[in-house]
Structure 1
Amino acid sequence: MFFAIIAIGILTASCDDDDTVSKTANLTLNLSGLEALGNDFVYEGWIIVNGAPISTGTFTSVTFPQSFSVDADNLANATKFVLSIEPAVDSDPAPADTKILAGDFSGDTANVSSNGIVADFSTSSGKYILATPTNGSDNDELSGVWFLDLSSGTPAVGLDLPVLPNGWKYEGWSVINGTPVSSGTFTDVDDFDDNATTTLFKGDLGDGPAFPGEDYLQNAPSGLTFPTNLRGATIVISVEPNPDNSPAPFTLKPLAHVVPSDAADHVTIAMGDGPVASLSGEVMR
């Protein structure tokens, strides 16, 4: 009798232990367009459960599909999936501002996109001129790019872009002989970019007009010579994580344009659609 009671006690304890063991289920990501972030940053997935974010794990590989083991109850109750860019060494358990994909679950699938969480660039447009206002008139005028509209004779806003959420900035680029050279980051299309007073490329006669842009006049990167001629170069507007994961352009590039071979200085030139205006994917539970 004594041993029977012991056995029943052990069986009861085992059942109790089984009840407290959490069950897991797989969350599978099949995403397109992401690029490797380098050593200092990782991607992190989040499910939103009762309005609160719960991490589904971090990853660095951009080869998909990838699967993650997640608490089954949380996954079943999740209403949304969000992907963020996080520091590789991260003391903050909450998602960073730099959220790149998001989508609501419908049944067992969430179609995720950058359009709702970063911005929708489907109606974006841009204009620019070639000019070098920071070294005086009629000097190397084909060696600078400024994102403004001069068609009326008076400088006006040249970029029509949505306001970005926290965690993102715009950056202008000139791809010269295959080398992308930044013209500076910015959040306002009708003001100086962030490096207007500190850039090493501009001339010595001021900061130029109060619009994003750059004069490529001195201190050229290795392999290039300044002043240059931007005819044939590709002018790009990218969307960059903030803080930025790389000195190179990020994968989101909503606007781009190859400078015509006969482009004249101080003449307004229209940009076209860039190579990557949105990212997307599918998340399955």
Structure 2
Amino acid sequence: MKKSVIWAMAALMTTAIACDKEDNDDNNSSTTSSLKMNISNLGELGADERYEGWIIVNGSPISTGTFSVSSSGAPSQTSFEVAASDLAAATDYVLSIEPFPDNDPAPSAIKIAGGSFSGNNAAVSVNHPVALNADFNTASGKYILATPTTTDMSDENSGIWFLDISSGSPMTGLNLPELPTGWVYEGWVVLHGEPITTGRFTDVDMADMAAPFSGSDASGPPFPGEDFVTNAPSPHTFPTDISGATAVISIEPEPDNSPTPFVFKPLVNMISSSAMDHVTYDLNNQVSSNFPMGTVTK
């Protein structure tokens, strides 16, 4: 009788130990770890968009969560709980912009930055192959004020063309790297706080893709730019003197449903209020203050 009791108790203990092991295995499989994000220069998005982080595990993206950014540039969240096993196996981090709400579990085509893990850290920038895959630190640009599409010589400060005439002849004014598929450049003039496009382009030594505000007296030069002399959008009146406005070159997703500049603005310049026509002016490289960069740590 005693032997039977002993064997029964041993069997119960074995079963209990096995159950405990299974419970511990289940708990271990659901253990999470924190992904810490420290990325600067993230702009505020519209109400229908969110940032979303992703880790790449065995070649596939796994979401680390979404977040927004305030008007002051502060992310709503900088620490994200991720399955520990996935985080340990992650080779890369990718940051995308997603629609909100978003019914698609996959990343969108708008991937703005990324980085490869070296140990537990990844340096995140637009240079990553999944993003712009280019170095914009040496980007530069020049422009002139002129209205070559009109014969009226009194409106010369009503147009901007991204070219260089310092040699006496029109030459390419923009030094920008080639963009990957899905991205294009776009010129802007920010007039009285309102951005007005000068046209989208992929080649710096060719005319851009549109001329909605230019005149009809002559063709513009074979470089990106625009005359603001017709079809003024409300509340503007054309022709208009753009001295004192801001000139911008942005990088836009293609296709793009936003009428305003995207968060990537590599070249910017405040046009002097005393700017003269047919004088070459420089654009300023704004990569350090406009492009997302930082680190993520697992």
What does the per-residue CA deviation read over 1:101-124, in whole Å, with 9 as the maximum and x for residues that have no partner?
222223322221224443322111
- Per-residue deviation at 1:213? 0.9
Change in 2 beyond 3 A, CA 1:154/1:91 = farther
**Cα distance in structure 1, aligned partners of 2:13 and 2:68:** 49
TM-score (norm 2): 0.82
How many Å apart are 1:87 and its aligned residue? 2.7
Matches of 1:166 and 1:39 in 2, distance apart? Answer: 27
Please list, as runs of the form range in 1=range in 2, the aligned pairs for 1:115-194 lying within 5 A after superposition: 115-116=127-128, 117-118=131-132, 119-136=134-151, 138=153, 140-194=155-209
CA drift at 1:231: 1.9
Task: Supply the distance in 2 between the matched residues of 1:106 and 1:129 (Cα, whole angstroms).
Answer: 45
Pair 1:97 & 2:109 matched:
yes
Query: Does the alignment pair 1:12 with 2:27?
Result: no
Q: Distance in 1 between matches of 2:92 and 2:258?
A: 29
Q: Distance in 2 between matches of 1:3 and 1:246?
A: 73
Hey, what does 2:59 align to over in structure 1?
A: 51
Aligned residue pairs, count: 282
Match of 2:281 in 1: 269
- Give the SS at the match of 1:75: helix
1:3 shift after superposition? 8.3
Matched with 1:229 is 241
SS in 2 for 1:19: helix
| Matched residue type, 1:124 | A
Q: Does 1:108 align with 2:108?
A: no
Which one of the candidate residues 36, 41, 47 is aligned to 2:49? 41
Match of 2:214 in 1: 202
Residue ranges of structure 1 left out of the alignment (5+ in a row): none
Counterpart residue type for residue 228 of structure 2 = Y
Shifted more, 262-271 versus 155-164: the winner is: 262-271
Larger mean Cα displacement after TM superposition, 237-246 or 224-233: 237-246
**TM-score, scaled relative to structure 1:** 0.85
| Cα distance, 1:8 vs structure 2 | 5.6
Secondary structure in 2 matching 1:135: coil
Amino acid at match of 2:85: D
Tell me the distance in 1 between the aligned counterparts of 2:163 and 2:228: 17
Q: Is contact 1:147-1:157 (8 Å) kept?
A: yes
Q: What's the Cα RMSD here? A: 2.8
- Matched-pair identity in %: 52
**5 Å matches for 1:213-228?**
213-228=225-240
Greater CA drift, 266-275 or 229-238: 266-275
Note the residue ranges of structure 2 that are not aligned, 5 or more in a row. Answer: none
